[in-house]
Amino acid sequence: MECQIFHCGTRYMNSEIDQRVVNEIFSASQAWENMQVLTDDIGSRLAGSCGEVAARDFIAETLDLYGVDEVNVEPFPHLGWECKGEELRVVDPVHRDILCCCAGLSPAADRLEAELIFLKKCDLEEVEARREELRGKIVVAPYHPVPRQVKMPIAAAAGAVALLEARSVAGGLQPARTCAFNRIGDIPTASISREDSDYLQRLAKRKGSVRLRLSLESVIEWQTSWNVVGLIRGREIEQEYVALGGHYDSWHVGSGAVDNGTGVVAVLEAARGLAQHKEHLRRGVRFIFFGVEELGLVGSWAYVHQHVNELDHAVLMINNDVGGRPIRLISAGFEGVRPLLSGVAQRARVDGIESPLDVEVGNPGWASDHFPFWAHGVPTAAIGCDQVDPNAGRYVHTPADTADKVYVAGLTECAAINAQLVCAFANAPLRPAPRKRREEMELLLDKFAWRQTLDTLSAWPPEALLARYFNGVPGRSVDSA
């Protein structure tokens, strides 16, 4: 049974310290400057690149400058990937080159030729119904609604020889995306633009069978990446902590401003404000900047692997991924956190929004860095954001995800809300929600209808994924909660 929140919890949320932290963030925000350093000065931060190392060092140095109690850089292994070449050509009934973008962790394709076939979703139901048609074909399927790393194994199991994922919106861009989680994909995979997908469909309608030639070249090898962790020690309850994090890697094609420079700078700015008043935090805070999120949430899985014996002390994990204008607070099935979330929602300062932010206790998805914590029964939360520029979210994972797409005011607003959440949960008189047992998480898994997807990804149960990711790698434990 989840713990009850007493009315005195409101006193902690509305404390003078909470307001001092928020005022500090709004009055002297460094979020936009940090965004420009991360995206304009450093740029692309693909795992294994010089940009990743530069971002790691920038984050660690900034945390130290802001005055947190301790900064640690924690290494972990991962399967690294670098694209060396990509080429797609129509070879029949016409000859025409088409731009493509090799998927992360895609196997090589050496002038692979095959007829194409179009699918509407490439989910299990559609593939099963058309299984005989798929064998030996190159599948073309839209970006949404099925993730690429789910489409790829489904298509491969049906005998397809390659997958081309077509961008769902116009703009002539080919989005980067992994085709597998920390393993080499089953079939060569790449993306094409919406416009080129439409062209191929028109060509097939006019001419009949269309044949493509695909060449992909990558370097895939084991590498080391890092999580950067800043600590503020609790002044009263030393073992317990609130985790506040987001991933700092990006794809090779661009600077990753919205995804996820916004999350990085919102956490950094929250750290700056909280460090000014750290002596008033009853519980500790861990500011965690995850590496290698884009290739399979590897950094966040590494963190829970390396710190599994400390997860009982985690009061809440707050994830920041793809910022904008904050409009809601979300938790994944932990009703006990709702009162504290509601208190922060009532007092959040967001330009243009007079009423309290919405609060949802529901399904936040499995594809971001909260999930490894959630999978171990740790309560999680996130700030749900809207894109003020309706096109901004369309540019993630492309060269167009640049700093000019960022809603600048939202960086500071999200930072302040992060700090308010930390203050609320770090200073609550009682833990708002206990860590859930495995059987409880299994029930939520079915409630959210995640099981089939996680089975396809080989991402459940957590100890099996951890063994696959870090087999033979020293760690404290890979036992389930």
Q: Using alpha carbons, select from 49, 425, 53, 397 the residue that is nearest to residue 256.
A: 397
> β-strands 358-361, 325-331: how paired?
parallel
DSSP assignments along 266-304, one per residue: HHHHHHHHHHTTGGG-SEEEEEEEES--TTTSHHHHHHH
Q: Using alpha carbons, select from 425, 438, 435 the residue that is nearest to residue 318.
A: 425
Q: What is the pLDDT of residues 368-404, one digit of tens each?
A: 999 999 999 999 999 999 988 887 778 999 999 999 9
The residues, ordered by sequence, that sit 6+ positions from 117 with a Cβ below 8 Å of its Cβ are 130, 133, 134, 137, 138, 139, 140, 160
- The answer to whether 160 touches 135, Cβ cutoff 8 Å, is yes
The answer to whether residue 476 scores a pLDDT higher than 50 is: no
- In sign, the C-alpha dihedral spanning 134, 140, 144, 148 is positive
- The answer to whether 430 touches 424, Cβ cutoff 8 Å, is no
- Measuring CA to CA, how many Å separate 212 from each of 196, 208, 357? 13, 13, 49
DSSP assignments along 225-255, one per residue: EEEEEEEE--SSEEEEEEEEEEE----TTS-
Q: How many helices (H) and strands (E) does the chain have?
A: 16, 14
The residues, ordered by sequence, that sit 6+ positions from 65 with a Cβ below 8 Å of its Cβ are none
Placement of tokens 């770090």 in the chain: 426
Please report the pLDDT score of residue 358 as a whole number.
Answer: 97
> What is the rounded distance in angstroms from the CA atom of residue 196 to the CA atom of residue 442?
42
Please report the pLDDT score of residue 479 as a whole number.
Answer: 32
Please report the pLDDT score of residue 472 as a whole number.
Answer: 58
Return the C-alpha torsion angle 300, 304, 306, 309, nearest 10.
160
Residue ranges covered by each domain of the chain? 8-69+233-470, 83-220
- The answer to whether 8 touches 429, Cβ cutoff 8 Å, is yes
Provide the pLDDT confidence category of residue 21 given band limits of 50, 70 and 90: very high
Q: What is the mean pLDDT of the chain?
A: 93
Please report the pLDDT score of residue 393 as a whole number.
Answer: 76
The answer to whether residue 2 scores a pLDDT higher than 70 is: no
Please report the pLDDT score of residue 13 as a whole number.
Answer: 41
Give CA 134 to chain center in angstroms. Answer: 31
DSSP assignments along 120-168, one per residue: SS--HHHHHHTHHHHTTPEEEEESSSS-HHHHHHHHHHTT-SEEEEEPS
Residue 446: CB atoms within 10 Å:
9
Please report the pLDDT score of residue 473 as a whole number.
Answer: 53
Taking the CA of residue 316 as centre, how many other CA atoms within 13 Å lie in the half-sphere pointing to its CB?
Answer: 32
Instruction: Tell which CATH architecture fits domain 83-220.
Output: 3-Layer(bba) Sandwich (3.50)
The answer to whether residue 480 scores a pLDDT higher than 70 is: no
Rg of the chain's alpha carbons, rounded to an integer? 23
Mean pLDDT of 114-139: 97
The answer to whether residue 295 scores a pLDDT higher than 50 is: yes
Q: Using alpha carbons, select from 322, 323, 329 the residue that is nearest to residue 346.
A: 329
Mean pLDDT of 196-200: 98
Please report the pLDDT score of residue 16 as a whole number.
Answer: 81
Q: What is the pLDDT of residues 64-89, one digit of tens each?
A: 999 999 999 999 999 999 999 999 99
SS3 457: helix
The answer to whether residue 481 scores a pLDDT higher than 70 is: no
Please report the pLDDT score of residue 7 as a whole number.
Answer: 36
8-69+233-470 shares its CATH topology with 83-220? no
Q: What is the pLDDT of residues 136-163, one digit of tens each?
A: 999 999 999 999 999 999 999 999 999 9
The residues, ordered by sequence, that sit 6+ positions from 443 with a Cβ below 8 Å of its Cβ are none
Q: Express as a percent the part of the chain with pLDDT over 90.
A: 91
Instruction: Tell which CATH architecture fits domain 8-69+233-470.
Output: 3-Layer(aba) Sandwich (3.40)
> What is the rounded distance in angstroms from the CA atom of residue 321 to the CA atom of residue 248?
10
